[in-house]
Amino acid sequence: MERRLAAILAADVVGYARLMRVDEAGTFERLKSLRKELVQPKIAAHKGRIVKLIGDGLLAEFPSVIEAVRCAVDIQQAMPGREPGMAEDSRIRLRIGVNLGDIIVERADIYGDGVNVAARLESLADPGGLCISGAVYEQVRDRTDVAFENRGARAVKNINRPIQVWHWPTNQKAAAGTSAPERALAMPDKPSIAVLPFENLSGDPEQDYFADGITEDIITALSKFRWFFVIARNSTFVYKGQAVDVKEVGRKLGVRYVLEGSVRRAASRVRISAQLIEAESGNHVWAERFDRSLEDIFDLQDEITSTIAAAVEPELAGSERERSKRKPTEHLDAWDLFQQGVSLMWQHNLADLNQGMRLIRQAIEFDPSFGRAYGHLAYCSLLLLVYEWADDRNEVLEQGLEDAGKALGIDQRDHFALHALGRLKTLQGEHQAAFRALESCVSINPNFALGYLGLAAAHVYGGDPKKAIDYAETAIRLSPNDPLKMVMLHYKGSAYMRLDEFDRAIEIFEKVCEFPTAQYVPAATLAALCFVQGRETEGRKALQQALRLEPTLSISRMRNVYGVSKDRPGTRTRRLLDALRRAGLPE
């Protein structure tokens, strides 16, 4: 076995399946021409070699990481000049990822985490863009004139650690012609705000969870003001560790106000600095610094949220402000352990989830009346089930329901626990109970994106698919940058499938399958839908993707997946399973 350090470049075509569907022969010829006239000469000029071609993608190896990055940029800068006169949405566009890592070499092929990370980076890149890992950035940051944007640490499928991601171009103008600029989201008809992750100034990266916890608690408190529109934490936390343009954040998230700040923790004291900014003008509405003992941390959070409320909407009644407060616990040690556990929970991988659950249980040992901790344990059980990490599904489901019940016994207005309860009830097939829990969730917290995601799922499986579409769209608007956007789109596509609008469902599932964290279910469903519509070539390709993600996939496995749905006589489920049989999926 030969090992070596190498720069790996992975590239593929954006929306290749759609282009092939419109003009199969023409798209294939254009791809061959692109490789022969541009990609292969550029790789050779930068002393790289093509390892293999994979459908619409390719993998290349370079002895120099600088040459790999320059090659990627050269290719992307040359792309807008190709295919003049062709409609923008018909042009071939590329996404590229570059990683530096140790690889295994066998004959002419290469393997290993270094290769896998490059492929994940490529899937995170914007059309016409390039994503590089933190290891690559450290090598090129001062040695090229290419400017990269820090997109933070991302959890990606089959890699057991977050990957630091840097992206080029930093704005769409740098790749003129590669893609249309994002449209600014329409402003809500009520005061709207995004809370950016507070910066940890403690000098200890291990204290990041503390700053994140402060941020999350402020988001939660503001979300309960009915007349506020508050962006979900999953969409604002993508900006963690980045130098941001507040005006751009306001445009991308569709909000009028942005709150940013910092946290410094030392011994028994904490200092929090916060500033509220009007996004469009960049003007400061207010800025304040708070110095407190750690024992006062909960009162301090209340003070910050009340100050924001008063600054944005001065006529807000004090009683409304009081109703929004929910102190998590009187024990700081419990809150500290809880926030560490929640930080790990959001990583969405099994090792971190298990450790996060252990820490949350320790928080409960400190304070058995800590309702929020039970609610988050229930959500952890949900993750074990949906990611198929549970050894005993019934046992995990029962434990999740028990924890949700404990949370609501302590605080019946715990929106997070209601959300977890509703999602678990959906998996249990108790659809009416799921509706009641999830409707209560969004009634208590009308800004909670996960609550609307839960309602979308519940209505896909046991309710009104038209409502499911509306709820999925609401979840996306509340959290437009959410790592769970793939799931929101999945339920939107599933709703169209239940309405027998199969072509619309196919279009959405194609988008879902392009996400780097996509699992086998959307790919298998896309395969079935394509066969139902007579698009067998696309269907076989989608099934191949599903089998790559889950080699043991079978008809019985998919029957269990679809079995949650209240599909009247089950005709739609049978139709999808029959389509998968025709595609060649074994029983």
Can you give the pLDDT at residue 568? 45
Supply the pLDDT for residue 335.
78
Could you give the CA distance from residue 277 to residue 283 in angstroms, rounded to a whole number? Answer: 6
- Residues whose CB is less than 8 angstroms from the CB of residue 300 and which lie 6 or more positions away in sequence, other chains included: 270, 272, 290, 292
Q: What is the pLDDT averaged over residues 30-50? A: 93
pLDDT band per the 50, 70, 90 thresholds, residue 311: low
**Domains delineated in the chain:** 2-175 (3.30.70.1230), 192-327 (3.40.50.10610), 332-446 (1.25.40.10), 500-587 (no CATH)
Name which of 161, 101, 111 is nearest 132 in CA terms. Answer: 101
Asked if the model's pLDDT at residue 549 lies above 90, the reply is no
Instruction: Examine the pLDDT at 328 and tell me if it is beyond 70.
Output: no
- CA quadruple 24, 25, 28, 34: dihedral positive or negative? negative
| pLDDT, greater one: 319 or 230 | 230
Residue 22 CA from chain centroid, whole number: 30
State the average pLDDT over residues 152-171.
74
Tell me the percentage of the chain whose pLDDT exceeds 90.
29
Burial 401-420 (b: 16+ CB within 10 A, else e): bebbebbbebbebbbbbbbb
Task: Look at 383 and 103; give whichever has higher pLDDT.
Answer: 383
CB atoms within 10 A of CB 381: 25
Q: What average pLDDT score do residues 497-505 get?
A: 89
pLDDT digits (tens, 9 = 90+) for 457-499: 999 988 889 999 999 999 988 888 787 888 999 999 999 998 8
Given pLDDT bands bounded at 50, 70 and 90, which one contains residue 174? very low
Please check the confidence at residue 381 and state whether its pLDDT lies above 70: yes
Express each pLDDT in 332-378 by its tens digit.
678 788 888 888 888 878 888 999 999 999 999 988 988 889 999 99
More confident residue, 428 or 288: 428
Dist. CA 519–CA 508, nearest whole Å? 15
268-277: list long-range contacts, CB under 8 Å, 24+ apart: 268/293, 268/294, 268/295, 269/293, 269/294, 270/294, 270/297, 270/300, 272/198, 272/214, 272/300, 272/304, 274/198, 274/304, 276/308, 276/311, 276/312, 277/246
* Per-residue pLDDT at 395 exceeds 90: yes
What pLDDT score does 322 carry? 42
Q: Sorting pLDDT into bands at 50, 70 and 90, what band is 320?
A: very low
Lookup result for tokens 């799931």: 487
In 3-state terms, what secondary structure has residue 301? helix
Helices marked H in 56-177: 65-78, 113-124, 134-140
Average pLDDT taken over every residue of the chain? 83
**Structure token digits, residue 257:** 């106000």
Amino acid identity at 463:
G
How many C-beta atoms lie closer than 10 Å to residue 242's C-beta?
Answer: 14
Could you give the maximum distance between any two Cα atoms of the chain, in Å?
72
- Kindly indicate the confidence band of residue 59, based on its pLDDT and cuts at 50, 70 and 90: very high
Q: How confident is the model at residue 275 (pLDDT cuts 50, 70, 90)?
A: confident
Predicted local confidence at residue 184, as pLDDT: 56
Confidence of residue 319 (pLDDT cuts 50, 70, 90): very low
> Tell me: the pLDDT tens digits for 190-200?
778 889 998 88
Report how far residue 453's alpha carbon sits from residue 46's, in angstroms, rounded to the nearest whole number: 46
What is the C-alpha R_g of the chain? 25
pLDDT for the residue 60: 93
Cα distance between residue 413 and residue 325, in whole Å: 11
Q: How many angstroms separate the CA atoms of 114 and 51, rounded?
A: 14
Mean pLDDT (whole number) for 78-87: 82
Q: Is the pLDDT of residue 541 over 50?
A: yes
State the Cα–Cα distance between residues 279 and 256, nearest whole angstrom.
5
Three-state helix/strand/coil letters over 470-517: HHHHHHHHHCCCCCCHHHHHHHHHHHHHHCCCHHHHHHHHHHHHCCCC
Q: Which residue shows structure tokens 């090229």?
A: 144
Question: Which pair of tokens denotes residue 440?
Answer: 């209560």
pLDDT at 24: 85
